[in-house]
Copies of this chain bind each other. A is one copy, B any other.
Amino acid sequence: MGEATVKEKIKAMLVLKKYGDLREYLSHINGADIVLIFNELPEENIPVLFRLLQKDTAAQVFAMMDSDRQEMLIRGFSDNEIHEVFDELYVDDAADIVEEMPANVVKRILKNTDAQTRRMINEILKYPEDSAGSLMNTEYISLRPDMTVVEAKKRIRRVIADAETVYICFVTDSERRLMGLISIKTLLLANDDEIIQDIIDDTDIYVYTTTDKEDVAKAMNKYDLVAMPVVDAEMRLVGMVMFDDAIDVMQDETTEDIEKMAAIAPHEESYFKTSDIKHAKNRIVWLLILMLSSSITGIIISNYEAAFASHAILVSFIPMIMGTGGNCGSQSATLIIRGMSVDDIKLKDFLRVVWTEFRVSVIISAALAAFNAVRIMIQYGDAVLAAVISLSIVGTVILSQFIGCMLPMAAKRLKLDPAVMASPLITTIVDVASLMIYFSIATKFFNI
């Protein structure tokens, strides 16, 4: 099923005004695909098409659209249509949308949602952007510990239509304090007269409204949870985070890490949604910083230039030694940063990491030094040159890997972002360090 064909069929039906066929046709396409198709259609077609969608699909599609198009649609909606769409939306999606809209649109939305939805939207909006509170959905199913299984099932059937998931239900006491979880599987396997309290899963897995959303995603991944309960400071259940939202958080955080490692300022928008000026701004800050630092390297080199005049060959090895140092440093940094972000490496492993990197750097530097010694002997037949280059490589590789593994862990220890410590910054430090090693070894051996 190629997207092009689907798009063309939809366009053709629009032209022929075959709305009945179009409604039927759209009802067989998943909402996630409809959004992709809509994105490729001209804006003026969207309101007509949107009104042909089934109610639940319409809400799903609406939640996934760009905020520009959401706003365009809302401005064209009647009060009743706003009510219908926002009634069908999950409240966390509704809150995300409200957050992006201008004040007059927000006013119209809140006027046309019922009191309970409005209350829930406001509840979510009051939490800081990166917290579990802002990510959670308040449409969970809660059960009481003293219910029987049959009572629980009755309650579930009553509230299920509005809940985002029935897979996991939360058990709370009379003061709404979280007591544990119960999966629908456990409920279906249980006998009708069993008491919830006796079949509850009471391991204490939960996050606070203030927990950083990255930590929420990590915990959900660790415990393989479909939904994670969110509690306030008094342990009262206020919402849950769904697995699909957690996956999005993980992906966004990874993208941020990758961009930081490549010296790009983190940003929210996708590639094509980012303006040229914003693209330039995201990249230019680090470019300027790195430009200044490489000027320092340049000055060091030109200072030694005169000294090297008698041994011109020495200059040609500068890029190789600096480059190898930079590469070794960023290899180590990358392994450590990624290891920490998937919880494979912890801060307390610091000495173990340094020791591992030291052993590995000894092997690598020995191999690279031997390779270069042989190459130089064959090419130039100069044993002193071979010794200088080999020794410089050993020193550079060992030092670079040490800096590369140490800086990200130090950054994390100081509650800074380890990813910023990666390639570019480390390369800069390593560049200077490896030049110093090279020059001091060379001047000693050649008596410059």
Taking Cβ atoms with an 8 Å cutoff, the residues of A that contact B are 1, 28-30, 32, 156-157, 160-161, 163, 165-167, 184-185, 188-189, 202-205, 221-224, 226, 243-244, 247, 250-251, 254-255, 257-259, 261-264, 270-272, 276-277, 279-280, 283-284, 286-288, 290-291, 294-295, 297-299, 301-302, 305, 312-313, 315-320, 322-324, 327-328, 330-331, 333-336, 338-339, 342, 344-345, 349, 352-353, 356, 359-360, 363-364, 367-368, 371-372, 423-424, 431
Contacts and interface: CB of A to CB of B under 8 A. Distances in A.
Given A189-B161, A263-B331, A315-B305, A344 B184 contact: no
B291 A316 contact: no
A365 B425 CA distance: 21
A262 B334 contact: yes
CB-based closest 5 A-B pairs: A262-B334, A302-B316, A298-B316, A294-B323, A224-B244
B320 A356 contact: no
Contacts of A330: 262-263, 423
Contacts of A203: 28-30
Contact of A166 (B28, B165, B185, B316): B185
A372 B323 CA distance: 24
A332 to B, nearest CB: 9
Given A276-B359, A335-B259, A301 B287 contact: no
27 contacts: A32-B223, A157-B189, A160-B189, A167-B167, A255-B338, A258-B258, A261-B262, A262-B331, A262-B334, A262-B335, A262-B423, A264-B335, A270-B339, A271-B336, A271-B345, A271-B353, A272-B344, A272-B352, A283-B364, A287-B324, A287-B327, A291-B320, A297-B323, A302-B315, A305-B315, A319-B322, A319-B431
Given A263-B331, A276-B356, 6 more contacts: A28-B202, A254-B254, A259-B334, A264-B331, A290-B327, A298-B319
